[in-house]
Structures are given as structure tokens and as C-alpha cells.
Amino acid sequence: MNIIRPIQPNDYDSLYGIAHASGVGFTSLPVNKELLISKIDKSVASFKQAVTQPGDESYLFVMEDTLTNQVVGTSGIVSSVGLDDPFYHYHQSKVVHASRELDIYNTVDILTLCNDYTGVSEICTLFLMPEARSGVNGRLLSKFRFLFMMEHQHRFAETIIAEMRGISNEDGQSPFWQWLEEHFFSMDFPTADYLTGIGQKRFIAELMPKYPVYVSLLSKQAQAVIGKVHEKTKPALQLLEQEGFSCRGYVDIFDAGPTVEANLQHIRSAHTSRRLPIRVKSEVEQAQTSYFVINTKVENFRGVNTHLQVSPDNSFAYISQQAADALNVKDDDFIRFVPTHFRT
């Protein structure tokens, strides 16, 4: 069984391996020992912290294979982005150049540097090792976060965003960044991506174009990738779109990948989830529908994919002893759950 749990200090080696495997463009996990240890420490402190409203907390979870005791994936939530460091995006919009006397009317696409998402919550750092990419593991690693946020709403903002990885090649070269590099930055995409990942973002304000960028002035290759996702990111984007996320014209400043957003109350897995006390049952019918299930704890959080049965009067959820042990719950403790797949 795979379980989701908060990351711990002794998970460093696993996290480093995941950071290395994730490759260029996965900004939230740079291959940097000091930064990775800092991320773990901040996450451990965030889970322990008593919170009344979202602040600078950052929650990092891992997926552990209980058969091998190996960490096979990560997933994260940032309570409020942009509170310590500016959180940059390009916003796509239009300007009109018109002359009534000359009967000329041109609509032009522009990109404007902004900090519009400051203070929202972000789901991030989702990576599943190739050997674990089977069944519903990827869905569990993504969707459990919506249950966690729904259960602990006071810890998060109403708006949730996800930055989707944009297009780059195997060498980490981004067509969009290549244009910026040529005209403004004089550093390659992997370097810029790495500096951002370790928190050195001052160069963005110092070197980024100060005025809106006319899209028509970009190279054809750069124009073609604006708002597009990396081939490996398409399944993740599709999953989020099914949950109700959509892009409102914000793209990453490095690779122009889209940022999608949704209101927590409108995320399908969040608002359709149910919360019930449990009864441990020796045998739970293996119905066709399985569920993503979490306990209602913070520091001792656990999440799994399992079968359950709801009592006829909807007062209890019956789960197996194995699932109860994985979730660290007992009779009368509460769980929150949602089907692994929605009926269409």
C-alpha cells in the first residue's frame, strides 16, 4: 500500500533523488542540499504550527511504498505565495492601436509583468518516480491535497493556483526563454530556473523588461509556446481541468507555461468530499469504486487509496484494519474521502 504522509528529516536522501530525477524546469525542487534541507525543516515546522489564517507555511508531503519503505513521490502546498519574495507572472492581455482618420484598427497581444497572485495558495512540487507511475498513484498524489485543504480551510486562501511546466527540450532549453536570454538576461534557462529555485530572484526585477512585451516582437518559436505545457505535464493539466481549474491568462516568466486557478469551494474533489467517523471492519466489500481517504490530522496526517463502505444511515464509514492502520485512526475517528474517479 502507498501512503501519503508529511516529509521528515530522514527523507532527505529520497528528496534529493527526486529532485535530481525531476530535471530542469521543476523549479520547486532544485538539486541543492542546503535548500532541500531548508524545505524539509520549514515543512516540519509548518505541520507543527498552530494556524488561524494562512501565512508563510509550506507543507511538503511524500508518498511512501509501505512494502519497500521507499519514498516514491512528493507533493506540496504553499499557504500564501509572494509574502517573502515577489511572485512573478506574465499576464496576457491586449491593446488596441487605432486611427479613425486612417481607418486602421489593430489588436495586439502583450505580456505584462505582474504580482497578481500574491497571497493565494499554491499546489506544487508534484513528482512521481517513473517506477511508481501505475494505477491511481498519480491521482492520489495530486488529489489528496484538495481533501487536506478542505479539511483545514483556515490554513489556506480561497484561491488555489498551480504553475504548469512549460515547453523545453531535453537539454532544458526553452524557446520562450531563449528570446528573453538573447535580449535581456544573457544567461541560459537552466541557470535562471536554478537561481529562482534557490530563492535568488532579485535578477528578475533587475533584468526583466520593465514595460509590456509585444508578443508579435518575439520569435515565432517563442510565440508558439506561450500558454502551452510540457508533454510530460499534459496528464497533470488534464486532471486539474477536470477538477475545475482554468487558466486566466497568466503564464510563467521563464518558459511561458500556463498557471491555472480555482476557488477551493469549487474544486470538484474538495466540495464533493464527505467527512464521517469510522468503524473498523474485518472485511470491507471490494466494491468497484475505491476512494482517496485522509485522516483529519495535521502533524500526523495520512492519506491512502482504499475501499470503504458507508453505513445505510450515512452515519459511519467502514474501513479495513489495514486501511485504519495506514491512516492511523481507530473507531469514531473522522476521515474525509472522495471517489478515485467521478462518474461522467
Q: Read off the C-alpha cell for 288.
A: 468497484
In this predicted structure, what is the pLDDT of residue 308? 92
Separation CA 197–CA 73 (nearest Å): 19
Separation of alpha carbons 204 and 185, rounded Å? 9
User: And the C-alpha cell for 343?
Assistant: 462518474
- Kind and range of the H or E run holding 99: strand 89-99
pLDDT digits (tens, 9 = 90+) for 144-178: 999 999 999 999 999 999 999 899 877 778 899 88
Write out the catalytic residue numbers. Answer: 230
Contact 308, 317 (CB under 8 A): yes
Smallest CA-to-CA distance from 176 within 224, 233, 229, 118 is with 224
Distance CA 59, CA 158 (A): 17
Residues 6+ apart with CB under 8 A from 6: 43, 44, 47, 59, 60, 61, 62, 299, 301
CATH architecture entry for 274-339: Beta Barrel (2.40)
* Amino acid residing at 196: T
Q: Are 292 and 305 in contact (CB under 8 A)?
A: yes
The reported pTM is 0.90
- 3-state DSSP call for residue 71? strand
Q: What percent of the chain has pLDDT over 70?
A: 92
Average pLDDT, whole number, for the chain?
A: 90
Q: Per-residue DSSP letters for 196-221?
A: HHTT--HHHHHHS-SSPEEGGGS-HH
Q: What is the DSSP string of 225-253?
A: HTT---GGGHHHHHHHHHHT-EEEEEE-T
Q: Assess whether pLDDT exceeds 90 at residue 180.
A: no
For β-strands 121-128 and 70-78, DSSP reports them as antiparallel
Whether 90 and 232 have beta carbons less than 8 Å apart is answered as no
Please report the sign of the dihedral spanned by the C-alpha atoms of residue 278, residue 283, residue 289, residue 295: positive
Q: Comparing C-alpha atoms, which of 43, 221, 215 is closest to residue 112?
A: 215
Q: Using one digit for the tens of pLDDT, what is the confidence trace for 183-233?
A: 877 777 667 766 666 566 666 767 777 789 999 999 999 999 999 998 888
Q: Give the confidence band of 79 by pLDDT, cuts at 50, 70, 90.
A: very high
DSSP 164: P
CA nearest to 237, candidates 220, 262, 274: 262
Nine cell digits for residue 34 = 542546503
Tens digit of each residue's pLDDT (9 = 90 or more) over 93-152: 999 989 888 999 999 999 999 999 999 999 999 999 989 988 999 999 999 999 999 999
Name the residue ranges covered by the structural domains of the chain: 2-88+115-268, 274-339
CATH superfamily of 2-88+115-268: Gcn5-related N-acetyltransferase (GNAT) (3.40.630.30)
- The terminus-to-terminus CA distance of the chain in angstroms comes to 28
